[in-house]
Structure 1
Amino acid sequence: MEKRYRPAWWLPGGHLQTLWPALMRRSAEVRVRRERVELEDGDFLDLDWLANGPATGPVVVLLHGLEGSLESHYLPGLMRGLGELGLRPVLMYHRGCSGEPNRTHRRYTGGDTGDLARVVALLEEREPDTPLAAVGFSLGANLLLKWLGETGAENPLAAAAAVSPPFRLDRAAARLERGLSRIYRGHLLRSLRASVAARYADRPQTSPVSLERVRAASSFREFDDAFTAPVHGYAGVDDYYHRASCRSYLGDITVPTLVLHALDDPFTTPDAVPGDDELSPAIRLELHRHGGHVGFVTGRIPGRPGYWIEERVARYLSGALSSKFHRPDQPLSHSATSLSPR
């Protein structure tokens, strides 16, 4: 029987669940091996492999959230946990997020799935008989779900998991303009503006968009309209939000996929969550009343937290990969939506 998520009583509300691990968690120690993948358009992607993990076994691609990295609180513990279960985790950095500005005008978006497809194709080419899985967080979860839906039955993954996807980018942008959620907006926008400024620091005249508009952006809508949409081929911010959101792709997913989400997620709104009729039978949506955004902190004793995400995701992937490749007579998981107790 699956262990249920029980939120820490001493972290009530979505904001505390979100902020505690981001501000207070001491990151697990992990050693990584950096690999650079050169892309056909002249740009590059960096991958961080768990250095002291297993030498063989299924590979799990990890996708960080907006402006994330190996320093993101949700990644080191999960990488270590996956390695202990005999899986090989590899963190795929989005363009410009690995500590060095990328070379082209393109960066990354919530819906540009080409880089993920390129990395997975590379892994397939290297080890054609090795099972592959992926985990996405926040914007990376949106990206992963969109790709799974786009590719349908042709997708090469054996299993996937998505944690705190926004489902609809327009809802997320609007939510981050309200109340305490503006804290996250301010932090992330500063990082985004700084990344663009670093890219064109010594050659501002080469920017394909107005850097003045980018610097002046005080909301995600303004930033995405000034930079994300025009640079990545969208007609405008609304076109980007509509075409890049994963919600309309969920019905076409065939890969067994776990989706974890909380109704008190301060990065989006409850009405962004899809209904059961929008989910394919391959999706298991575990919907919780509490948990915040990539939080899901447990623990009965104040100050002694547990981090349920990495436990649940690691167990799910280990079971899905084991059953699919070692016990082929076992059926795939059925769709299920569960609502955890208060």
Structure 2
Amino acid sequence: MSGIFNFWNACYTADVRYPKESALLTTKEQRSTTTSVFLREFVERRCPSLHAEFRPAWWLSNGHLQTLYCVLGDFSQRDKVVYNRTFLRLLDGGTLGLDFTPVDDSHLTPETPIIVVMHGLTGGSYESYVRAILAPACTPVHQGGLGYRAVVVNFRGCAGVPITSPQLYSAGHTDDLRQALFYISHRFPEAPLLGLSFSLGANVMTRYVAEEGECSRLKSACILGCEALEFVGEYLQACVHRHVATFAKDPDHDVAKAAAVTIGLAKPTITMFDEHFTRIGGGSSPPWPFASANDYYEYASSHNVLSRVRIPLLAINAADDPVVQDVPMDAGGNGWVVMALTPYGGHLGWFESDEGWGRVRRWITRPVLEWLRATGTDLIRPAPHWRPLHEDGGFLKEVGIDRLGCKELDGSSIIVGTEGEAGLLAGL
């Protein structure tokens, strides 16, 4: 009885931490005027749902249940999103899958904001947590949506993207996102790019905006459920097993040897997986390979770089998340970062009761949409210090960085967002 009593008398509002010295932003106001506001005021005025109550559905009253429902719940009839997939060939021979929505964007202007999404663990654009936000965000304004474009950057080997080089992905490898942003910003040069990322992808995006500082191609970032460097490794092992034939084409390569050992591990933890594979095949050289999994963790953790972020960043986590055990609520004292911690929500859940018996919806959708509207429409960004792009041998590159480049491959395909991959963990 005491557990039920505590649930019904719990606190349901997020612990929102603002920096002591907030960054000063320029925003659009009514009648085409502009004004300067501090980040705290910007969020408090434009993201009221962040401070509103989140009451979890009574039958999903703790983090484990919320997280389990992410994996086992049936979301096939909710938030349907259809994508047009573009494949990018990278300079190292790897391949990325960029899923754009809406498929017919002829009614959108060149200045329409674009949400750039990075998914979690072994997921993709089909994930229910991705669609819960993109469905309303990309619905036309006259139908109650934001009327934005969006693109999901699918990791190498995920969501039907082939492995075409001896490298997978990891929480610390940011170059794939960097190259995807080359392409997106080149294709839509007038559109502001708004980052949205989940779990492992959230760690990647946080590291990217920290590494780039004022040169970030993202205007803002919303980070959910970051970070997940210590979770079960069987699902990443399944991803390696799915592509082991590709790795085996060059059996003498260090990554091929690592893959062969990895698929033989019995019920590996994430530390075991990272020790045998990620520290070797999770990124490009330098800084890969690492001497140990611990060295990789020290490098990859986004906690260590938050102080270097120079765009507005909102990070939301749940206190009962069984995956994320440590949240740096001080954000390194960075005036550009707002940290929010909800008492409940699990890992990427945040399910609350909806109309109808047993139906749920995601509370997180509301504050994220408010943030995307505010940063996409109201926020005015100072002229960014982007490095110019140029074409070299058919590859799109940044001036001064010869090791990175991408080019669009011929052909595209329609992707139905509710169709995931069999055998891989969904929802995380």
Which structure's relative contact order is higher, taking Cα pairs within 8 Å and 6+ residues apart? 2
Letter in 1 for 2:322: P
Task: Name the structure 2 match of 1:23.
Answer: 72
Letter in 1 for 2:132: G
Q: Distance in 2 between matches of 1:290 and 1:37?
A: 38
1:55 corresponds, among 79, 95, 108, to 108
Query: Residues 253-292 of structure 1: matches in 2 within 5 Å?
Result: 253-269=309-325, 272-276=326-330, 278-292=332-346
Q: Distance in 1 between matches of 2:204 and 2:364?
A: 19
2:132 corresponds, among 77, 86, 93, to 77
TM-score of the two chains, using structure 2 as the length reference: 0.68
Task: Name the structure 2 match of 1:34.
Answer: 85
- Deviation at residue 52 of structure 1 after TM alignment: 4.3
- CA distance 1:161–1:277, shift in 2 (3 Å): closer
Identical-residue share of aligned pairs (%)? 31
SS at match of 1:291: coil
- Deviation at residue 126 of structure 1 after TM alignment: 2.4
1:294 corresponds, among 339, 342, 348, to 348
Q: Distance in 2 between matches of 1:277 and 1:31?
A: 36
Task: Name the structure 2 match of 1:250.
Answer: 306
Task: Name the structure 1 match of 2:411.
Answer: none
Q: Distance in 2 between matches of 1:214 and 1:204?
A: 14
2:296 corresponds, among 212, 230, 240, to 240
Does residue 320 of the first structure (1) align with residue 356 of the second (2)? Answer: no
Unaligned runs of 5+ in 1: 177-184, 329-342
Task: Name the structure 2 match of 1:9.
Answer: 58
Task: Name the structure 1 match of 2:358.
Answer: 303
- CA distance 1:273–1:197, shift in 2 (3 Å): same
RMSD of Structure 2 on Structure 1 (CA): 2.3
- Deviation at residue 277 of structure 1 after TM alignment: 5.7
- Deviation at residue 124 of structure 1 after TM alignment: 1.8
Higher strand share: 2
TM-score of the two chains, using structure 1 as the length reference: 0.84
Question: Is the contact between residue 263 and residue 288 of structure 1 (CA under 8 Å) also seen in structure 2?
Answer: yes
- Deviation at residue 302 of structure 1 after TM alignment: 5.3
- Deviation at residue 209 of structure 1 after TM alignment: 2.2
Question: Is the contact between residue 233 and residue 270 of structure 2 (CA under 8 Å) also seen in structure 1?
Answer: no
Question: Is the contact between residue 265 and residue 293 of structure 1 (CA under 8 Å) also seen in structure 2?
Answer: yes
- Deviation at residue 249 of structure 1 after TM alignment: 0.8
- CA distance 1:191–1:317, shift in 2 (3 Å): same
Q: Distance in 2 between matches of 1:264 and 1:145?
A: 22
Letter in 2 for 1:10: W
> Which digits, 9 at most, give the CA deviation of each residue in 1:253-308, with x for residues without a partner?
11111111011111121xx2113161411111111121100011111675121112
Higher helix share: 1
- CA distance 1:188–1:152, shift in 2 (3 Å): same
User: Larger Cα Rg: Structure 1 or Structure 2?
Assistant: 2
Q: Distance in 2 between matches of 1:198 and 1:212?
A: 10
Question: Is the contact between residue 209 and residue 230 of structure 1 (CA under 8 Å) also seen in structure 2?
Answer: no
Q: Distance in 1 between matches of 2:336 and 2:364?
A: 20
Unaligned runs of 5+ in 2: 1-44, 140-145, 383-428
> Which digits, 9 at most, give the CA deviation of each residue in 1:123-174, with x for residues without a partner?
222232211111110000010111111111221221110100017x3xxx2x
How many residue pairs end up in the alignment? 311
Letter in 2 for 1:61: V
Task: Name the structure 1 match of 2:159.
Answer: 98
SS at match of 1:81: helix
SS at match of 1:71: coil
Question: Is the contact between residue 22 and residue 73 of structure 1 (CA under 8 Å) also seen in structure 2?
Answer: no
- Deviation at residue 222 of structure 1 after TM alignment: 1.3
- Deviation at residue 59 of structure 1 after TM alignment: 0.9
- Deviation at residue 205 of structure 1 after TM alignment: 5.8
SS at match of 1:290: coil
Q: Distance in 2 between matches of 1:43 and 1:189?
A: 18
